[in-house]
Amino acid sequence: MSGRLMLRSDSQILSERVKEIRPRLFDYCMRMTGDAMKASGVVQDACAAMAEVAAEGGRMEVNEDVQAFLFREARVLGKEAWHADTTALRNPRLLPGQAEFALIRLDEVLRQLPAELREVILLVERYKFPPQIAAQIAGFDVKRFDSALSAAWRVLLTSLPPGAVPVGLGGGPGPIERLPDYPEPALEYQIPVTNLGEIMEGLESTRRRPGARGFWVLLFMVVAAAGYFWLKRYPRR
């Protein structure tokens, strides 16, 4: 699908697109924050921001802008936790004996990269953003982005076994792209991305009542915070 998407009138299309993007969005947040609760919170906030834009009647390119918007919002919203040390992070979908050793080693090297280098190579090689869009998401100027990307490639090529090329051959997906996504935990307060239309209608109705929008935004934040601390204190078993 191509062309421009009228977000408010095409809420079902938008919901489906967000649902497609969400696993990679969580994966991006997880690989940068190193914390499942923080990553889930950032994803929730980015989806809420998307619903807000849609309720205001915004427009986006179906194929590009929706994904770029969500990734950029996540990057901004998660900036306080974005440069986490992910050396000890482990993906439950990459267990020894169950996954290719080459992928396990590649994931390990990526986790050990400095945050800035890790981010730029993930945006380009894993999430397949053009360098110019990836630089905008990361908030880097072109020179800084190119320098970080070159440095990331140098580290990868010197850290991996001889002959291990972390790029796709013959037009197929490369190893970085084939790494399994981190699974997003199910949360009681998680926004259902298939229900963006109702969220947008709720935002529209609050705008018609002076002072109501602030109340509902505050209520949403209180409920989200309560859910976060409840799960931290009483984790699922």
Cα 195 to its chain centre, rounded Å, is 19
65 and 110, same domain (yes or no): no
Looking at residue 219, its pLDDT comes to: 54
151 and 79, same domain (yes or no): no
Domain that holds residue 17: 1-85+193-237
- Is the pLDDT reported for residue 135 higher than 90? yes
What is the Cα–Cα distance from 97 to 131, expressed in whole angstroms?
35
- Is the pLDDT reported for residue 3 higher than 80? no
Report the pLDDT averaged over residues 54-58: 69
Looking at residue 132, its pLDDT comes to: 93
Q: 194 vs 42, which has greater pLDDT?
A: 42
What is the Cα–Cα distance from 79 to 104, expressed in whole angstroms?
27
In the chain, how many domains are there?
2
Residue 2's pLDDT band (boundaries 50, 70, 90)? Answer: very low
Residue 70's pLDDT band (boundaries 50, 70, 90)? Answer: very high
What is the Cα–Cα distance from 213 to 188, expressed in whole angstroms?
23
Looking at residue 61, its pLDDT comes to: 47
Whole-number average pLDDT of the chain: 79
